[in-house]
Amino acid sequence: MNLIKDDWFTVEKVDNETYVISEYKHWEETHCYLLNGTTNSLLIDTGLGVKNIKAVVNKFATKPLIVIPTHTHYDHIGGLRYFDNFYIHENEEDWINGNFPLPLDFIKNLLIEEPCEFPLDFNIDDYEIFQGKPTKILKDNDIIELGNRTIQIIHTPGHAPGHICLYEKEKEYLYSGDLIYKGKLTAFFPTSDPKTYKNSIDKVVNLPIKKILPSHFDLDLQTSIIKEIKDAFEQIENDGKLEQGSGLFHYQNFTISI
Ligand SMILES: [Zn+2]
Ligand SMILES: [Zn+2]
């Protein structure tokens, strides 16, 4: 059930203390997650930044907010400018703070790659890549306490060097970022690494997981997709093709682009 559906964001409940905020009008169909705990709320990712996500977050966040992007690609950090503080993994501290490695025109072309009804007050000419100083640097296995909820940081590089998944053991939720979703999984950027991506899948495949909460596309994922992605990477490696530039590998629920 949609709690909000305005001209840009859609908000739905995952459970009584967890919300998903989606940008379905854009071809990337981004999802951000808001987790309410008894001492803090946590926003995972901030979307494209073409409309003020904080106005939506404020409607549902019940405690002081911690903001953590899964990595520093534009579609996850776009809304950071609306918040006072954020945490980022140590491997992408320089990307967010002065040294983003991809040119602005490349990002703008991605943003308008497919036809999209952007909000009326959005102007692509004004779009910038957020830069700012993180309030805290994250490392693998760090714990974020929200009072009654405990979230573990799992460093899962490959798509991007500082990519993290967030794992909530109690609920057996995996907030999978761009590591796992139904669609084109990408390790073709110059800053990606297919071998590391494969290792990151191995890192999460044996966790007890009831629900995968991805950053893009279909929200209704079977948890078996992790094993399917693992098997696919193993096949690609066995065929000697786990090298950047090998191309596209198609499977029933996803495509791997390396
Ligand atoms: Zn990404
Ligand atoms: Zn993404």
- CATH number for the domain spanning 215: value is 3.60.15.10
- Residue 173 DSSP class: E
Determine the average pLDDT of the residues in 141-170: 98
Which pLDDT score is estimated for 238? 97
How far, CA to CA in Å, does 22 sit from each of 30, 76, 156, 216? 6, 12, 23, 9
Residue 243 lies in a domain: no
The CA 15 to ligand 2 mean position distance, Å, reads 23
Helix count (H) and strand count (E) of the chain? 6, 16
CA atoms of 46 and 80, how far apart (whole Å):
6
Q: Which ligand is closest to the CA of 71, given by its number?
A: 1
Residue where the block lists tokens 């999978």? 176
Ligand closest to CA 214: 2
Tell me how far the alpha carbon of residue 159 lies from the centroid of ligand 2, in angstroms: 9
pLDDT band at 101; cut points 50, 70, 90: confident
- Can you tell me the distance from the alpha carbon of 213 to that of 192, in angstroms, rounded to the nearest whole number? 22
Query: Separation of 254 CA from ligand 2 center, angstroms?
Result: 15
Q: Which of 60-64, 87-91, 189-193, 241-245 has the lowest mean pLDDT?
A: 189-193
Instruction: Give the ligand with the smallest distance to the CA of 191.
Output: 1
Provide the number of structural domains found in the chain: 1
pLDDT band at 2 (very low <50, low <70, confident <90, very high): confident
Position 157 in a domain: yes
Q: Are 139 and 179 in contact (CB under 8 A)?
A: no
Averaged pLDDT score across all residues of the chain = 96
Q: What is the pLDDT of residue 47?
A: 98
* Å from CA of 188 to ligand 2 middle: 13
Ligand nearest to the CA of 72: 1
* 120: containing domain: 2-182+206-223
Q: Which ligand is nearest to the CA of 73?
A: 1
Confidence of residue 225 (pLDDT cuts 50, 70, 90): very high
The residues facing 20 across adjacent strands are 12, 33
CA of 238 to the centre of ligand 2 (A): 28
Which 8-state DSSP code applies to residue 42?
A: E
Assess if residue 70 is contained within a domain. Answer: yes
Determine the distance separating the centroid of ligand 2 and the alpha carbon of 65, expressed in angstroms: 22
Give the mean model confidence (pLDDT) for residues 32-42. 98
Q: Ligand 2 centre from 75 Cα, in Å? A: 5
What pLDDT score does 80 carry?
A: 97
Q: Quick one: pLDDT at residue 213?
A: 98
| pLDDT band, residue 151 (cuts 50/70/90) | very high
- Residue 246 covered by a domain: no
> What pLDDT band is residue 136 in, cutting at 50, 70 and 90?
very high
Separation of first and last alpha carbons in the chain: 36
Half-sphere exposure of 20 (CA within 13 A, CB side): 23
Q: How confident is the model at residue 15, as a pLDDT? A: 97
Number of residues assigned to the chain: 258
pLDDT at residue number 55: 96
| Domain annotation covers residue 190 | no
Helix (H, G, I), strand (E, B) or coil at 200: helix
Rg (CA), the chain: 17
Is 174 inside a domain boundary? Answer: yes
Structural domain includes residue 253:
no
Q: DSSP strand E in the chain: where?
A: 2-5, 10-15, 18-23, 30-36, 41-44, 65-68, 87-89, 136-138, 143-145, 150-155, 164-168, 173-177, 184-186, 211-214, 248-250, 255-257
Beta-bridged to residue 256, according to DSSP, are 185, 249
Q: Is residue 135 part of a domain?
A: yes
Judged by its nearest atom, the ligand closest to the C-alpha of residue 257 is 1
